[in-house]
Structure 1
């Protein structure tokens, strides 16, 4: 097969190698004279697992909804415990004040 009408300047093997070595699709696209979308298409066609794209690079940790719910419930229980402790202190203080008023 001849490459007379292909504007891509890098071979597919070179593109895959660069990507696996850590180069971004945008960097590879500039080197090979094609679009980043075309590079992603080549990677998909050759079953190469792609990294997340974007400036933020997914630095967050994925937390399942059930874990979030569990954490919320735990926090609510802690808040209720603190509130009940504070209410008990307030009641004890009021009783103390009333006893002082009686004397």
Structure 2
């Protein structure tokens, strides 16, 4: 028999259970993120703009392998799983500005 997610949660979160599974608080602030130096913010901005690792390497004067390693360390510091996750984390943490498609370009 396949059980629904609601049934499983009901079993896990018994009202009489002294240690129920904690639920996230709404509107909690984002967890603290490490401060990034200007070079890391620049590279992360290039990632956000959709540049390939090879193109980023050319921009910063490094080879593709060195750039890949730099980005891997950057993603680890941010706690990101991949480039898209790193950009999302950076936007939420205020490291990168959020993209607003309705905003007028100066």
Q: TM-score, normalised by structure 2?
A: 0.35
Q: TM-score, normalised by structure 1?
A: 0.35
State the structure with bigger RCO (CA 8 A, min sep 6), 1 or 2: 2
